[in-house]
Amino acid sequence: MAIVSKDLTYKMHEYSDFELAFLLKNRHENLNELSKQNLVYEIKQRGLSPAQLTDLIEGKLAYSGSYGVGACRRCSSEKLLYPEVANKKGERKYYVCEVCGEHNFREAMERNNKKSVAIVALLAGLIMLIGAIVAFFASAG
């Protein structure tokens, strides 16, 4: 199932060339017919050739740095969709890139699982420590 904003077809003119290239490569099959037509039309209007589109994508993928907060880690677009999932602090840590489809669900879940494992290990250590203290005082008395 594709996650694409409802007004995607009306705002393709706002997309940069590299965003159109990623949209064509990664999302084209999941777009509705009107969005597909508008995407192809916009690419033709800008005179972008298949080679230029490929170069735009390869240039972004070759970059090994970080694009920063608020940008997709794959394509660098700032057109991110945030599902209605927030943590206790109200932070929205999960996103789906509207342009290339990249998301961070698995990564965010792994981070949360690592935190849970660390908390459980800490609690288990405390329980063992309390048990040892109780046993010490029980044997001393």
C-beta neighbour count of 41 within 10 angstroms: 13
Predicted pLDDT at 108: 57
Predicted pLDDT at 73: 81
Domain count, the chain: 2
39 plus 81 within the same structural domain: yes
99 plus 127 within the same structural domain: no
Determine the Cα–Cα distance for residues 102 and 97; give it in Å rounded to an integer. Answer: 5
The reported pTM is 0.61
57 plus 68 within the same structural domain: yes
Domain coverage including residue 136: 105-141
Which strand (E) or helix (H) includes residue 55? helix 50-62
55 plus 109 within the same structural domain: no
Question: Which portions of the chain are predicted below pLDDT 50?
Answer: 1-6
Predicted pLDDT at 4: 46
**CA angle (79, 112, 107) in 5-degree steps:** 45
Predicted pLDDT at 1: 34
Share of the chain above pLDDT 70, in %: 56
97 plus 130 within the same structural domain: no
